[in-house]
Amino acid sequence: MKNSQTTVSARREKILAYMKSSGIAKVSDIAAAFHVSELTVRRDFDELTSEGKIERFHGGAVLSEPSDVETQDRLNTLSYKQAIAKKAADMVDDYDTIFINSSSTALLLLKYVTAKRITVITNNGKALFAARPDDSILIFTGGEIRFPKNAMVGDFATSNLSKVTASKCFMGCAGISLSHGVMSTVLQEAAINELMIRHTNGEKVILADHRRFDCIHPFRTCAIEEITHLITDTDVPGSAMESFRKRGIKVSQVKPSRIVT
């Protein structure tokens, strides 16, 4: 039976998401990841090429070059992530054991950590290839790999997390608000995040740029009162941050350096 157009379209969107994460995609890798034939992948690539979304090369494809506006938007987003990650990295002390969730911003902090001999416990599969201190120890929760973020979730991951504790946790989120707390778009990831919060003895730090505020998503990680520190950028009004401080949360606002092409 031929795949429905809905299934085909969904698979092609996932292929694009995969390429945004990895930057490049080989036909053989996509076929293995999505459990389809290489012929099917080539057909998908042909269609995505005709739509101007990718560019083919022998055996694979890359994303088409974004417009100047899209490029600048991406660079500006990266500048926010970098500034927040650098501030978070300053909170890591020698010999700390830290939780990091599937957030790209939280993972980025490892690039800037100067503390010695830290232990990182994470469900973020991309941590394997991320920059981090040479003397750090990396421990994965294990579990089912959720595409395209490479987040480890499920019973195996939660079982392993329930047996460990950390001195600090650093987590990104899909949304944050005073009334709804810290939120995720994915139920399984929310469960992992909740366990990380619960099994942290010290600072529980949320990394959230201005785009995350008052974005309501279906799955809650925790109430606002359960976190201790919020790191965000200066695009969030100071008056809004005062409301978080009144809840007993320490707030740090950082100003990103604009990256200009």
Strand-pair category, 204-207 with 175-177: unpaired
Residue with tokens 């990394």: 207
Which residues in the chain are classed under CATH 1.10.10.10? 5-63
Domain 71-254 indexed as CATH 3.40.50.1360: yes
Q: Token pair for residue 74?
A: 């991406």
The segment(s) of the chain belonging to CATH 3.40.50.1360 are 71-254
CATH class of 5-63: mainly alpha
| pTM for this model (two decimals) | 0.74
> Can you give the pLDDT of all 261 residues of the chain as single tens digits?
445 778 888 899 888 888 876 667 889 889 988 889 999 999 999 888 888 888 888 888 888 766 555 555 665 777 899 999 999 999 999 999 999 999 999 999 999 999 999 999 999 998 988 889 999 999 999 999 987 778 999 999 999 999 999 999 999 999 999 999 999 999 999 999 999 999 999 999 999 999 999 899 999 999 999 999 999 999 998 888 999 999 999 999 999 876 544
Sequence-ordered strand ranges (E) for the chain: 24-26, 54-57, 60-63, 97-100, 119-122, 137-140, 144-146, 151-153, 168-172, 175-177, 181-184, 204-207, 219-222, 229-233, 250-254
